[in-house]
Amino acid sequence: MSAGNGASATTAHGSDIKTVEQRILVFNDPHIADRPPLGRKDDYLQAILNKLITIGQIVKDEDVTQVVCTGDLFHYKNPKHTSLGTIYAVRTILSSYRCPVWIVPGNHDIPGGLVEIRKQPIGLVTSPTVDVIRQSSAHITPLIQTVFRPYDRRRDCDPTYYALTEEERKQSESLPTIMFAHGSIIAPGQTRPYPHITIDQIDLRGITAFCSGHIHEDLGTHVIRQSTWMCGFINCGALARTSRTDANMTREIQVTILSVKQDIPLEFSSRSIVLDVPPAEEIFHEQVVVAGQEVPDSIIEFAESVAQGLQAETIDLDTLLQSMPEFPDIERDELRTIVRHYLEEAQV
Ligand SMILES: [Mn+2]
């Protein structure tokens, strides 16, 4: 296995390439919305649609054979806040890609669980070539097994949710298996101030590569090795920049391309492609104002970590606010009001 930026790029564009190679383009967390998230000053909807259009061009240029979105296709959890026109525009762009597209539902897509798919915007983007994953499942495509784990608010931090089932493990003996999940999974040795698991807590046997969305930072590529197997963990960060966090002020916006070739031994590689987008200074207001009050960046950082990390679906706001650190110069009650307003207005 090779992994990293650019170095492991493949390859010949022969006419029979699709029979001997799978090239999967993965993107995370587009957070499509009509109304810009709090703090954005540009045309947010157009910016994110442009990224989806650019991905269509990459699909063409790179001979991509499958596209996977790892979740949070839409931003607002209340379906009334996304217009049919926007849903239709997204469906049209995704359907124009020249290969099958899989969408793994994220917590913003199905805040109440998978039963909500039919009531949510994500349920309306299916087309002959665009599939929305409706349950934890595996699919056999030429050369590989793709396994999907949609966001599950009860099992988000349960490592057994992400391990292969017996059936999937059996398939993995003859087919390279790639996992696509939406969950609070971070790299080995890292930690966060919200509930999470690290990739090495998961039983990764049989999984060649593990791609996860949900955490918006660029977590990079990590190879987890044991004596008899290895697995690549990849999260190149969200497609969307939904708030003025330190990570969003500095990171690149990118997609990942995974390549599996039918060589003996099977070769797997991943690389990222950076999208050409405006710098963060051009898309964010310098100061977020909520209910007439300027919100310090440190509070936005806290509110986002609470909201993204999350499990806002299972823990009530008061419980979340109990974990709030002290901020100098702001009274505790006033701070709670600002964070509450921020979370409500940001709809996170
Ligand atoms: Mn997200």
Q: Which of 297, 211, 285, 306 is nearest to 254 (CA)?
A: 211
Q: State pLDDT tens for residues 233-283.
A: 999 999 999 988 889 999 999 999 999 887 656 678 999 999 999 999 999
Residue 213 Cα to ligand 1 midpoint, Å, equals 7
What is the Å distance from ligand 1's center to 181 Cα? 12
Give the model's confidence band at 1: pLDDT under 50 very low, under 70 low, under 90 confident, else very high: very low
Ligand 1 mean position, distance from CA 215 (Å): 7
Compute φ and ψ for 131, nearest 5 degrees.
-115, 130
**Cα 177 to averaged position of ligand 1 atoms, centre (Å):** 24
pLDDT given at position 5: 37
pLDDT in tens, 3-46: 333 333 334 444 444 457 899 999 999 999 999 988 899 999 99
Distance in Å, CA 36 to ligand 1 centroid: 15
Lowest mean pLDDT across 33-47, 89-103, 290-304, 317-331: 317-331
Average model confidence (pLDDT) across the chain: 87
Distance 9 CA to ligand 1 centre (A): 28
Q: Give 170 Cα–ligand 1 centroid separation in angstroms.
A: 32
Centre of ligand 1 from the C-alpha of residue 214, in Å: 5
The model carries a pTM of 0.87
Which strand (E) or helix (H) includes residue 220? strand 220-225
Query: Ligand 1 mean position to 115 CA, how many Å?
Result: 19
For residue 6, the model assigns a pLDDT of 35
How close is the Cα of 187 to the center of ligand 1, in Å? 17
Top pLDDT among 165 and 311 is at 165
**Cα 192 to ligand 1 centroid, rounded to whole Å:** 16
308 C-alpha to center of ligand 1: Å?
A: 7
Please state the separation of Cα 240 from the chain's center in Å: 9
For residue 210, give the 3-state DSSP assignment: strand
How many whole angstroms from 347 Cα to the centroid of ligand 1?
12
Q: Half-sphere exposure (CA, 13 Å, Cβ side) for 226?
A: 12
C-alpha span between 135 and 133 (Å, rounded): 6
Ligand 1 centre from 20 Cα, in Å?
34
Centre of ligand 1 from the C-alpha of residue 112, in Å:
15
230-235 sheet: strands from edge to edge: 137-141, 144-149, 177-182, 209-213, 230-235, 220-225
Q: pLDDT per residue over 92-136, tens digit each? A: 999 999 999 999 999 999 988 999 999 999 999 999 999 999 999
pLDDT score recorded for residue 226: 82
C-beta of residue 307 within 8 angstroms of C-beta of residue 344:
no
Unique residue bearing structure tokens 């100098």: 328
pLDDT band for 347, please (50, 70, 90 cuts): low
